Structure 1
Amino acid sequence: MNESRITTFAQLIGGGDGAIKRVEIPLIQRDYAQGRTDPATTQIRSAFLEVLRAALSANEPQGIGLDFVYGDVETGSGTLRPLDGQQRLTTLFLLHWYLAHRAGVDLASEAWTEFTYATRASARLFCARLVGFPPPADCEAPTDWIRDQSWYQYVWRHDPTIQSMLTMIETIHQRFHEEDVTQLWYRIADADRPAVSFHLLPINEMGAPEDLYIKMNSRGKPLTPFENFKARLEADIAPIDPRKTFAHRIDGAWADTFWPYRGNDDIIDDELLRYLRFLIEICEWKDGRIEQGPIEARAEKLFDERNPRARDHLAYVIDAFDTWTGVDPSAYFSQLFTSGRAARTSAGPMPLFSASEGRTDLFDNCVSTYGDTRGATRVFSFGQQLLLAAALAYRRSVSIEAGSELRERLRVIRNLIDASENEIRLDRMPAMLAEVERIAVDGLTDEVTAFNRAQFDDELLKARIRAIHPEIESAVFALEDTVILRGSLVAFELDPESLPRRAEAFVRAFGDTANWTQLTAALLAVAPYARPRDRERRSFQFGVGQDGNLASWRAVLAIGSRDALSQTRRALGAMLDEVATGEPVETGLSALRSRSLREAELEREFDWRYYLTKYDSMREGKSGIYFGHNGELGYSLCMLNKSQLNSHYRDPYLLAVWKESGIGDLADDPWFTGYEWGERWLTLRRSGTRVRCRANGYEIAPPSGSEHRRALESVATKLGVRDGLMPVPQRAGERHMLDSADRIKIGADLITALAAEGL
């Protein structure tokens, strides 16, 4: 393989050592494609021509480079048959042709016109006719003129290469017809200050072109989006990158970094482009801007030398690439993050809860998925962007090593991100980026935050207590790393004496979903731990006992301020103290529950907590959400499977009555929909008799048939039903009437008796 040299299209043929006398696109190449009219190619064509126009219009010596052109040079004839570069060479041929004939250049005297196609005889003849019969210099519609010529054959309208060439000529005309074409011609033909150049790598005596084509995997297709973007970007940054640092490294050391992340096509273009897009968005956030639209225009604006921070942004981009040179990013991030659910300490990686399918290598996630979406959600999320930006900030300013200091700072950032689902929005990204970079470089110091205020305050509190009591670090980290809490400890007293014991108990109790049914009962046995879900206090959030619904437990234990969780914190602490005795978890939970029920039964005070604690069926709702009539938890509740009342839900009292009665399908399975103040009836199938739970007992709606009415009267007489009401004995409590007998047993006895009478 010969040495490469930098050349221009005008100098390619007959220039240099004169070894190349003509260019022929070989049969093994496919049709010219940069003139296709599909949306993607149209955008690529427009961007590429804009890069060329900018390079020709600028009076700068740097110009732009179009990477390598590989080709087999035939000894004797001096014919270059490009194996890689067909698309770029064809576009450059058409651009030279357009500018030359418009500038009045005698095409017959130009060596570069020895350009042809061997793919089709029609394409070869078309190239010759373009050179031999150019339009008038002042032609206002060159493609129309060409189609009107006698030498233009009608059948050429079916030739894809010719049609693509005509589309490219039309686009060139639209882009360049108002320019000073004479000046542009001298600029593109200037060998001393090349505006557009490429590396030519001639290949001699290495076998047939067909074999070389296969060996080198020549693309034979238009420039990729990355190649077009890179060419334009290099032109944009030329004034602020006179040494061409970016251009040299992206084709060298940086390419080596990205090679392990290549796709199935063994090309790293997509991965490089994703990383560049990520860095450009980060730089925009650093400027305090949110930008939309084509990345080319955004990059031009960002690196424009009139932007006072343009050089800072370029330095950031270069550093963000350089920092991974000679580094295995996967190994680096494996020291920081894990997707495992086991408790961790400061000496090991922390769970990255936002990682999908165990993908904790943020660099890999970025170069593989940045820009992809699932619906309106970014696959490489805002949270992961902030964490990667924080790691880059630390590597730039503090150390390239992933030590305990970085892990601790990223832990704080992870906690803030996971607690800020409502705050993390695109419009807040500039402020959040600035904050995570400060934390990564300086630690948690500022008391002004763009993240969730309650979580930020708790991070400050944890830091202060740990500074005084470093022995609680393991307990703090173990709790933070559970999938329920995810960094939030507002449900815990940060007491150095009790926290380690309670942390161990929490991990044991909540780590096994089989315990959850008893956990809800045990917590209720201590205190009314549920959290209001809305300002009107119409609904309340409990943890759930089935289906592994983490979201319901997070809503109870990990969302909100310390003040808002005071009652929850008391219940949780007492429950964990019971579990922390060393007995099996289920033993401690059962003891706490039984003790609470015994106390209520001795006092004969049965409130809603008693019933939800005693009857498992009253805690079956999959969402953990309960609506209470008039905003109160009492004897009229709706237990939701989903989050809204317009879906089917249970009345927990009627459900427990039905199940405790054992009458099964003699009554309709009690599902309901509608507002919490609506009537909810348990219906007996034989007669249509209905029963509903009221504050003072059970209301009975009689059947329509006379024979059933007599049966109902018989039951009413036996059970003491008066005026359609089966009363529940009650006495006055501090705020409300309290049952002095178990209303579930009373209700179950009632419908059992009704069913026994044939109702």
Structure 2
Amino acid sequence: MNINYTLLDILTNNVKVFNKDNGAFEPIMITNGIEIPMIQRDYAQGRLNDKTKFIRQQFLKDIYEVLKCNQDGKLKLLNLDFVYGFIENESFIPLDGQQRLTTLYIIHWFLAFKDDIDFKRYGLQLFNYKTRQSAKEFLKSINIVDNQIKLKKECNNDFKKLSESIKNQPWYNLKWNDDPTVKGFLQTLQDTIPLFSDIYFTTLVENKPLCFNFLKIDEYGLGDNLYIKMNARGKSLSDFENFKASFENIISKNKATSEDFIKKIDGVWLDAFWGYALKSLPELEVNENVENLTKKCDFLLLEFIKKITEYLYFKDDIGNNFEFTNVNLERIYSSEENIRLLIKFFELIAPNEYSKWDLYFDEIFSEKHRYNRVAINQSELNFIMKIFKGESFSHFENLLFFGWLNFIFRNEKTEVSDDLRDFLRIIRNFINNINQKNKTELNTELRTDYYHDIIDTIQNLEIVNPYANLISKEFSNRQRYIDYEIIKYEIFKSDSFKKELLFKFEDHGALRGLIFNFDFEVYNSNEIKNIVTNFYGMFNHLEYQDIIRLILCFGNYSVKVGYSNLGEFRFFGQKQKWHRILASPDGEIKDNFRELFKVFSKEEITNWNDFVEKMVSNNISQYNGDWLWYCMQPKYKSILDHPIYTKDYNGRIEIFYNQSLNSYHHNPFAFWFRYHSPIEIRNTINEAESCAQYSNFSRLHLKNGLQLEQIDSTWQIYNLNEDFKSEIIFYDEIKDCFVLKCENLVEDLISQINVLYKSKVTLNQ
């Protein structure tokens, strides 16, 4: 059995099965592809009744969503359950899975046809039906190359009526219209075409997103009796039952340990998970069909085993892409230690009631800062409930789960303690440090190929007084991230109040545990309390434009976030995007906050607006002659609504809301005039033209055709009639335009707007 076999694996003779005699996986010969046997029914998923139509369309939609995710670069797998059968004349004869295999084949056939794929390369001509001769002939005909060429030429890349076009071909036998399999094939094909038109055949090949359990029944000694019994009771073995049968064989080499596992998985653990299943299902669903309870119990047991196996896979550094396959199970559980860890996990989990796990992680994690909790900046993180619900884990969640798992394994109990919280806090901070700069954000760089090294770090942490024991340990992997925690510990090690304050500080959503850009060593507890209170107050009471102005009081801290034809992109910070600034690995913010914290430490600030304006007034002079002088002024601070800017070698500035040359951008002063000048001034402005896109610099456009470009402390005016006379606006022969020299680029132009608006223009420039 292997859950990662695909339709193409069978059609291209690429299947191996486990030989229990020699303990190895060996290839089997399937050179003649797949043949649906006579004992099977016709292809039923293509029927037109409402129930079948609903099931078919939902199945197609599920497959499409998985393929689209993979095509968009997001790895996602869809397990299509169990397919089993036997080999006869080097053909695979499915006893279960016929309907799913046929629907999969139709999707493969259409995508290969659409994308001009060589059918023989992927064995797509090797899918046959024996149920009726007409179905066999039909499948043969649609796979003849000449027939496909003519059909595609007739469609001319418009596949909407492909099914009808097939029926109109000279090789199409009208008697096939009465064959249920042919009718179903064409109907499913017709439903497939509009949904899968943007999917490429290569998506089916890369990552193998559509997979199923494959079992050659005689390899497991099950024989035809199994097929008869399973069909007699109307269901196939569950995934868990199949897993258990093969897993018991894998671990049987360690007799005592395997007997312990087998006894408990069918005993006390089963009882516990039966209780979990009962609590997790609605009462009505259980009462209507008790089989739902059995399925849920099996599902929970298997999901927990998968998750623990994933941890062991990365702990043992087996690879970077975990798959729950027999090959990996052999590798992992050939180690008796790993079998014991799996047993230990169940023994730690099973004694507790469902209600405990429902609330357990609320004692550890919180979304935002809470006393004696680890803030995770997301609404919920209940590992056990996520497994109960079959939900996927992000890399962040996976690694925190591995940390929790490692702690309870070593501690041999699940009780929540301060040591557990500190242990997970260190891990949170460590993995949040593994990030990369991406424009105006710091995005996680966590990947599965980092998992083993991170688990090594986790295993090197002590579970008793984890912070205190950091100093005595050596961490070969990303030591500097541990050094950040050691520096923090040195500050609070003899003062529990400082510890509480620093934890509150680093739990802020804009920091997420990363506080290496801030210095606390020189402050006492009361000063740190003021700093932390004021830091939270700054973000709670000020708009981001005023936060920028406050931090600019200590110098231009903007961070470089990219390049463009207009110059370097730089970023001041923005609502929900302060993490990029505050946790910048380049430390641009350090000097500014060193000075700001000196002010913050003195007392708790109560009137934030007055505080900001006083700070700006005391520090604005450093920006005299610079465009940032205007940003600091309350009247013009709206320029910071667009907190990204570029500056070229001539000093020309363009401001952006989003970092993209495709978006509209503005000269900061043109922006202010366009959106924030007095209404009588705005009435003279051609707003639609007073911005730019791509690699163009913007100008201020008046409705009479004049264009004004800000260069340094001047406005250069284009299209102004050469007869224009003014005492303060002069014609510059070198620049070949009129120039207004300014002491204040806003106020001086406001006084001249009406004069310019009423002047004569020429459109020669």
Give the structure-1-normalised TM-score: 0.62
Q: Is the 8 A contact 2:654 2:697 kept in 1?
A: no
Paired residue secondary structure (1:726): strand
- Would you say 1:673 and 2:701 are equivalent positions? no
Rounded to whole Å, the distance in 2 between the matches of 1:648 and 1:147 is 63
- Would you say 1:299 and 2:328 are equivalent positions? yes
Rounded to whole Å, the distance in 2 between the matches of 1:262 and 1:594 is 63
Within the candidate set 588, 594, 607, 1:570 is matched to 594
Paired residue secondary structure (2:645): strand
Paired residue secondary structure (1:268): helix
- Would you say 1:490 and 2:516 are equivalent positions? yes
Paired residue secondary structure (1:656): helix
Rounded to whole Å, the distance in 1 between the matches of 2:433 and 2:448 is 16
Paired residue secondary structure (2:385): helix
Q: Is the 8 A contact 1:285 1:430 kept in 2?
A: yes
- How much does 1:481 deviate? 1.3
Identify the residue that residue 607 of structure 1 maps to in structure 2. 626
- How much does 1:390 deviate? 1.1
Rounded to whole Å, the distance in 1 between the matches of 2:450 and 2:310 is 13
Structure 1 residues 722 and 618 mapped into 2: Cα distance closer, same or farther (>3 Å)? farther
Q: Is the 8 A contact 2:517 2:589 kept in 1?
A: yes
- How much does 1:405 deviate? 1.2
Identify the residue that residue 656 of structure 2 maps to in structure 1. 640
Structure 1 residues 537-566: Cα deviation after superposition (integer angstroms, max 9, x where no partner):
92222123xxxx322x1111122155x433
Identify the residue that residue 22 of structure 1 maps to in structure 2. none
Rg comparison, structure with higher value: 1
Q: Is the 8 A contact 2:528 2:601 kept in 1?
A: no
Aligned Cα root-mean-square deviation (Å) = 4.7
- The code of the aligned residue for 1:441 comes to I
- Would you say 1:316 and 2:341 are equivalent positions? yes
Structure 1 residues 145 and 586 mapped into 2: Cα distance closer, same or farther (>3 Å)? closer
Aligned pairs for 1:522-561 within 5 A: 522-534=550-562, 538-544=568-574, 549-551=575-577, 553-560=578-585
Structure 1 residues 616-664: Cα deviation after superposition (integer angstroms, max 9, x where no partner):
655556673221213x9xx522222112223222221221244336422
Q: Is the 8 A contact 1:490 1:561 kept in 2?
A: no
Rounded to whole Å, the distance in 2 between the matches of 1:589 and 1:395 is 48
Within the candidate set 385, 398, 402, 2:416 is matched to 402
- Would you say 1:684 and 2:702 are equivalent positions? yes
Structure 1 residues 32-53: Cα deviation after superposition (integer angstroms, max 9, x where no partner):
xx9xxx979999xx99x999x7
Identify the residue that residue 425 of structure 2 maps to in structure 1. 411
Q: Is the 8 A contact 2:403 2:458 kept in 1?
A: yes
Q: Is the 8 A contact 1:226 1:269 kept in 2?
A: yes
Structure 1 residues 664 and 241 mapped into 2: Cα distance closer, same or farther (>3 Å)? farther
Q: Is the 8 A contact 2:729 2:740 kept in 1?
A: no
- How much does 1:462 deviate? 0.4
Paired residue secondary structure (1:698): strand
Aligned pairs for 1:336-375 within 5 A: 336-339=364-367, 341=368, 343-345=369-371, 348-353=372-377, 355=378, 358-370=379-391, 372=392
Q: Is the 8 A contact 2:569 2:646 kept in 1?
A: yes
Structure 1 residues 555 and 294 mapped into 2: Cα distance closer, same or farther (>3 Å)? closer
- How much does 1:507 deviate? 1.0
Aligned pairs for 1:479-518 within 5 A: 479-494=505-520, 495-497=522-524, 498-512=527-541, 514-518=542-546
Rounded to whole Å, the distance in 2 between the matches of 1:147 and 1:698 is 84
Identify the residue that residue 441 of structure 1 maps to in structure 2. 463
Unaligned runs of 5+ in 2: 25-82, 89-127, 134-178, 182-213, 286-291, 437-444
- The code of the aligned residue for 1:566 comes to K
Q: Is the 8 A contact 2:457 2:475 kept in 1?
A: no
Rounded to whole Å, the distance in 2 between the matches of 1:321 and 1:535 is 53
Within the candidate set 394, 397, 402, 1:384 is matched to 397
Paired residue secondary structure (2:236): coil
Structure 1 residues 486-513: Cα deviation after superposition (integer angstroms, max 9, x where no partner):
112234221333322111101112134x
Within the candidate set 612, 619, 635, 1:596 is matched to 619
Q: Is the 8 A contact 2:639 2:671 kept in 1?
A: no
Rounded to whole Å, the distance in 2 between the matches of 1:144 and 1:742 is 84
Q: Is the 8 A contact 1:530 1:540 kept in 2?
A: yes
Identify the residue that residue 646 of structure 2 maps to in structure 1. 627
Identify the residue that residue 424 of structure 1 maps to in structure 2. 446
- The code of the aligned residue for 1:593 comes to V
Paired residue secondary structure (2:545): helix
Identify the residue that residue 695 of structure 1 maps to in structure 2. 712
Rounded to whole Å, the distance in 2 between the matches of 1:144 and 1:57 is 35
Q: Is the 8 A contact 1:518 1:589 kept in 2?
A: yes
- How much does 1:431 deviate? 0.3
- How much does 1:325 deviate? 1.8
Rounded to whole Å, the distance in 2 between the matches of 1:482 and 1:176 is 57
- The code of the aligned residue for 1:518 comes to D
Rounded to whole Å, the distance in 2 between the matches of 1:721 and 1:575 is 49
- How much does 1:144 deviate? 11
Within the candidate set 234, 253, 260, 1:245 is matched to 260
Unaligned runs of 5+ in 1: 1-33, 60-90, 99-142, 149-156, 160-172, 190-195, 201-217, 373-379, 730-740
Q: Is the 8 A contact 2:631 2:638 kept in 1?
A: yes
Structure 1 residues 219 and 596 mapped into 2: Cα distance closer, same or farther (>3 Å)? farther
Q: Is the 8 A contact 1:387 1:413 kept in 2?
A: yes
- The code of the aligned residue for 1:524 comes to L
Paired residue secondary structure (1:520): helix
Rounded to whole Å, the distance in 2 between the matches of 1:219 and 1:417 is 50
Identify the residue that residue 244 of structure 2 maps to in structure 1. 230
Identify the residue that residue 70 of structure 1 maps to in structure 2. none
Structure 1 residues 249-280: Cα deviation after superposition (integer angstroms, max 9, x where no partner):
33443342442445874413333333322222
- The code of the aligned residue for 1:629 comes to D
Identify the residue that residue 283 of structure 1 maps to in structure 2. 312
Name which of structure 1's ranges 619-628 and 523-532 shifts more when overlaid on structure 2.
619-628
Paired residue secondary structure (2:246): helix
Structure 1 residues 176 and 390 mapped into 2: Cα distance closer, same or farther (>3 Å)? closer
Rounded to whole Å, the distance in 2 between the matches of 1:539 and 1:478 is 33
Q: Is the 8 A contact 2:238 2:298 kept in 1?
A: yes
Within the candidate set 303, 310, 334, 1:274 is matched to 303
Structure 1 residues 270 and 651 mapped into 2: Cα distance closer, same or farther (>3 Å)? farther
Rounded to whole Å, the distance in 2 between the matches of 1:411 and 1:539 is 34
Name which of structure 1's ranges 460-469 and 248-257 shifts more when overlaid on structure 2.
248-257
- The code of the aligned residue for 1:569 comes to F
